[in-house]
Amino acid sequence: MKFSVLLMCAAEVAVLRDGPAEVSGGSTIDAEHAVPPEDLVVDKAGPGAPRVRTHGSWQAADLTKAVLEQALFDPFSMACLLLLGAYVLMHHMLPKESLKVVETRRDSDAMSAVSGVSSTSGKSRRSRAPDRFALVVNQKLTKLDTTDEVLDFALASGETGRTDIVNVVTAIHRCAKLAAAQPQIQRIKVGQDPRMRTLLDQLLKFFEQGGHAPSIVSRAVGNTSWALAKLQYRQDPKQPHAILEMLQSLFVDHSTEFRPEELMNTVWAFGELRRDKESQDSETRAIAVAEAACKCIDKFDLFTSQQVVYFAWALARLSSIGALKTDSEHSQVRSGLLAYTQKIVRRVKPSIQTLNPKNLAMLSWAAASLHNNLGLTDEADVAGLMVRVASLVQPRGFAGFQPGEVASILWAVNKVHADLPDFYAFVRSHLLQEGLERFNTQDVATIMCSFVKTGYGSDDLYELLAGKARKCAQDFNRSERLMLQWAFSQLPHLEAPDL
């Protein structure tokens, strides 16, 4: 089509340059200046001169042949033909994929330009495409290496008015990832940074505006909840922020639209955030999240093995809320947690050998916690799961296990009352041989009580634990001190450490 149009243009140029007719404003030949047909024109230039064709002759003759003939005597036409030839050659030599990429980029540029303009119809940004500026900001945020850089860049970018909800969530999530390996006090400091509060203000505003796709909302809730839990975010009693209430409300309203990873992150986060003792609503929010999560049990089969472990851990954290264990109004939540526990045990038992030491310890703690907090007997066969864990660990040994992971598995076996004397003997031998150098106070208290309660300990093990307790006596918290005091009260023939 383009080739034909250009041929016609070249022909018209030749006519205008060599013919006597004039073109009107409408690009048609004026009737009063019309040239007679070619057979009525007298050739006054002689037989050897180039012949001048009229408009009518162009229409009657073969167009392509005529243009080529005319181009031989006209430099301008020749230039046009050369350009046409170059265009056709390029079009056939370039792969079609390259042309599609160019068109796609043009379309993307057009969408970016449109997305930067606010709608004047009063509707929210429901149909807006991502602004190219916002895309660049997101890429930059994921490459920054410190929380200060992330916070400063996110706020500076936000001042342009062209950032979006994804930018804000990315900045919050990036801060949490960068701070995850830092000491607890540093993580808390990032969560309480005034710049973080400003980002939360922006996020709250985006949520209140609405109009976001469900996938954007679920990812924003999941990632933000996870990030705040990692930063051990705590409400300011004097100026509480509404972001946690908003996140909880959005999860309750849209939980069935959450993907497994987002569901897992949100449930785990509110299980952690409920420990904020200064907030009167922390447990209320956590119970609401637990209730909403129980409505998503049909999604459980979509979880990967690792997601099952982390989700089990999250549910176990929620199951420890006192109101869930005692208030009759939450019976449906307890029923939902029981159903999840049964699904977890059935899912992991056949493939438990594929779990790494960390996930094996997490699963043991979570399953035993659900068993204990829900007051289960054998409904979910958690004891059978722990027998399976013990039979897997014993031949492998504890190589690759962290001290806390050893303590967690021992605690879980004891909590579900699995009678495994050989496993206790195996753990006792391991501790006596390897020592307790890397064990913390919680590990010492847990191991001590587990062996005393079952009667599978020995005096040499208790002496080892007492010696470790004396070395770090100042690090024990009140609960751990009470545990050790009870344990040694059952062993009057041994000297208890002075805590």
Q: Which residue has the higher pLDDT, 169 or 279?
A: 169
pLDDT for the residue 73? 62
pLDDT for the residue 81? 66
* Average pLDDT taken over every residue of the chain: 81
Listed residue (447, 354, 351) closest to 405, CA to CA = 447
> Radius of gyration over alpha carbons of the chain, in Å?
38
Q: Exposed, middle or buried: residue 86 (CB in 10 Å: 0-12, 13-18, 19+)?
A: exposed
The span from the CA of 44 to the CA of 461, in Å, is 126
Q: Which residue has the higher pLDDT, 396 or 130?
A: 396
Measured between alpha carbons, how far apart are the two ends of the chain, in Å? 92
The span from the CA of 181 to the CA of 115, in Å, is 38
The span from the CA of 285 to the CA of 48, in Å, is 100
The span from the CA of 482 to the CA of 79, in Å, is 97
Helix and strand element counts for the chain (H, E): 24, 0
User: Can you tell me the mean pLDDT for 426-452?
Assistant: 96
| pLDDT surpasses 50 at 366 | yes
> What string of DSSP letters covers 131-185?
PHHHHHHHHHHTT--SHHHHHHHHHHHHTTT---HHHHHHHHHHHHHHHTTS-HH
DSSP-derived 3-state class of residue 29: strand
Contact 201, 235 (CB under 8 A): no
Q: Exposed, middle or buried: residue 196 (CB in 10 Å: 0-12, 13-18, 19+)?
A: buried
Angle at 440 between CA 225 and CA 319, to 5 degrees: 40
User: Can you tell me the mean pLDDT for 134-157?
Assistant: 95
Which tens digit of pLDDT belongs to each residue from 377-403? 888 999 999 999 999 999 989 989 999
pLDDT for the residue 276? 66
Assign 3-class secondary structure to 321-367: CHHHHHCHHHHHHHHHHHHHHHHHHHHHHHHHHHCCHHHHHHHHHHH
The span from the CA of 241 to the CA of 171, in Å, is 18
Q: Which residue has the higher pLDDT, 236 or 72?
A: 236
Instruction: Report the range of poorest mean pLDDT among 47-56, 124-133, 277-286, 374-383.
Output: 47-56
| pLDDT surpasses 60 at 119 | no
Q: pLDDT band at 25, cuts 50/70/90?
A: very low
Beta bridge partners of 265: none
Listed residue (171, 176, 173) closest to 157, CA to CA = 171
pLDDT for the residue 60? 44
Where does residue 232 fall: left (phi above 0), alpha (psi -120 to 50 degrees), or beta otherwise? left
Q: Which residues contact 450 (CB under 8 A, 6 or more apart)?
A: 410, 411, 413, 414
pLDDT for the residue 239? 83
Q: pLDDT band at 112, cuts 50/70/90?
A: very low
pLDDT for the residue 429? 96
Q: Exposed, middle or buried: residue 9 (CB in 10 Å: 0-12, 13-18, 19+)?
A: middle
pLDDT for the residue 33? 35
Instruction: Report the range of poorest mean pLDDT among 91-105, 328-342, 376-390, 419-433.
Output: 91-105
pLDDT for the residue 298? 94
Q: pLDDT band at 91, cuts 50/70/90?
A: low
| pLDDT surpasses 70 at 117 | no
The span from the CA of 77 to the CA of 26, in Å, is 23
Which tens digit of pLDDT belongs to each residue from 2-16? 444 444 444 444 444
Domains of the chain: which residue ranges?
2-96, 130-302, 305-396, 419-499
